[in-house]
Amino acid sequence: MNTLHTLPEPVLPPEDVSVPPFAVVPGRQVKRVLDGEETTVKDLVESAYHLHAAGLTVNPASTFLRFPDRSTARIIALPASLAGDSRVDGLKWISSFPANVRSGIPRASAVLILNDPVTGYPFACMESSVISAVRTAASAASAADWLSRGRPRATRVGFVGTGLIARYIHTYLRGTGWSFTDIGVHDRSPESAAGFRTYLEQSGAEGYITVHAGPEQLVRSSDLVVFATVAATPHITSPAWFDHRPVVLHVSLRDLAPEILLSATNVVDDAEHCLRARTSPHLTEMLTGNRDFVAGTLADVMSGRVSVPADRTVVFSPFGLGVLDLAVGKYVYDRLARSGELVVVDDFFAELDRYG
């Protein structure tokens, strides 16, 4: 939610402020900083959730750019502002072109712009597909942890959708202490499912890997279910598939029919953001006319304001908050700045003297 009214009183900048240098941060640097930092990034994401719940963020609704001649494609703008120790403003600009996969290139691409909160000047343009993937994966790993407390820890995980996000979620689950005896895999593309299986085998993943022809048996045989598809409308409709009360990470947001959400305990990252754009929670609100089916946010669970029953399916539906990208992006930038590795673009700004 936009909680501008709870932010600290504005402070006028001192008269001797200067424009920060402008840096371009390529993906190879981002990846090098973040590789192996699963626990650190999970902590960053959880801290950002707490700041958001405390009203120390500004996170307006995302803006969707769609195209009449490319119905499956979109580009999304996520402006945000984050207070706290790593205060920063900025914008994530991320595209999703599913047709890319036919050409063997990733579906999504992204940049993140970081702005100086004192002068407003942008000081970094970062390749952000990895930042977006790790913040999503860290959020999912955090939810898996907090929503599993009070019930037996899952040993059987299933992935519906086997693209980049699924791979990062698996990496973050392993990197934050999870291990599995069984890993289920399903994708509408047999090639994608086979590729994900190869990734699992080459990564040294423990557990017996099963590629399922359809989602039903995968769901029924998994204690932790990850939906990471590009589905535009619900395709999982039977609450009976979830009778064993799994924890469900509904990362792709549009896989589950309202009947399934109504039979479960529902946790979101932010209700105002999640219940829009015809997501499954939004469709559920449209069906029922209310939001009573939403138990609370992940921050509510982490702080103890909401308890998750162990005898019901629990579904985590995260819309994805721009403040998470800012938190991770600023961490990467600060690491590179401290090590002297920033690639600064000299004279990026044409005019730095107000009077010419």
Pair (301, 179) in one structural domain: yes
Instruction: Report d(CA 175, CA 179) in Å as an integer.
Output: 9
Q: Give the model's pLDDT for residue 181.
A: 97
Pair (149, 215) in one structural domain: yes
Q: Give the model's pLDDT for residue 14.
A: 61
CATH number of domain containing 84: 3.30.1780.10
Mean pLDDT of 319-332: 97
Q: Grade residue 350 by pLDDT with cuts at 50, 70 and 90.
A: confident
**214 by DSSP, 3-state: which?**
coil
**Number of folded domains in the chain?**
2
pLDDT at 9 over 90: no
Does any domain span residue 328? yes
Contact 311, 245 (CB under 8 A): yes
* β 70-82/57-58 pair status: antiparallel
Q: Give the model's pLDDT for residue 106.
A: 86
Pair (104, 150) in one structural domain: no
Does any domain span residue 72? yes
Pair (297, 160) in one structural domain: yes
pTM of the complete model: 0.92
Q: Give the model's pLDDT for residue 294.
A: 98
Pair (206, 235) in one structural domain: yes
Q: Give the model's pLDDT for residue 334.
A: 97
Does any domain span residue 1? no
**How many other β-carbons are positioned within 10 Å of the β-carbon of residue 194?**
14
Pair (96, 142) in one structural domain: no
Cβ burial, residue 172 (10 Å; 0-12/13-18/19+): buried
Instruction: Report d(CA 54, CA 109) in Å as an integer.
Output: 31
Instruction: Report d(CA 251, CA 316) in Å as an integer.
Output: 8
pLDDT at 5 over 50: no
Q: Give the model's pLDDT for residue 12.
A: 57
Pair (231, 306) in one structural domain: yes
Pair (188, 81) in one structural domain: no
Element (H, E) at 211: strand 208-211
Domain residues for the domain of 291 are 137-317
pLDDT at 1 over 50: no
Instruction: Report d(CA 89, CA 10) in Å as an integer.
Output: 14
Helices (H), the chain: 27-34, 38-53, 129-148, 164-175, 190-202, 215-220, 258-262, 271-274, 280-288, 298-303, 322-339
Whole-number average pLDDT of the chain: 94
Q: How far is CA 337 from CA 23, 322, 328, in A?
A: 10, 22, 14
- Quick: pLDDT tens for 82-119: 998 889 999 999 999 989 988 888 888 999 999 999 99
pLDDT at 81 over 60: yes
Instruction: Report d(CA 85, CA 238) in Å as an integer.
Output: 45
Pair (115, 241) in one structural domain: no
Bridge partners (DSSP) listed for residue 344: 23
Q: Give the model's pLDDT for residue 86.
A: 86
Mean pLDDT of 315-329: 97
Mean pLDDT of 12-21: 76
Q: Give the model's pLDDT for residue 4.
A: 46
Does any domain span residue 351? no
Paired tokens of 331: 């961490």
Q: Grade residue 8 by pLDDT with cuts at 50, 70 and 90.
A: low
Does any domain span residue 8? no
Q: Give the model's pLDDT for residue 107.
A: 85
Does any domain span residue 7? no
CATH number of domain containing 241: 3.40.50.720
Pair (78, 154) in one structural domain: no
Does any domain span residue 283? yes
Does any domain span residue 285? yes
Task: Using a pLDDT cut of 70, give the percent of the chain over it.
Answer: 96
Pair (204, 309) in one structural domain: yes
- Quick: pLDDT tens for 223-235: 999 999 989 999 9
Q: Give the model's pLDDT for residue 15.
A: 65
Q: Grade residue 321 by pLDDT with cuts at 50, 70 and 90.
A: very high
Pair (290, 333) in one structural domain: no
Length of the chain: 356
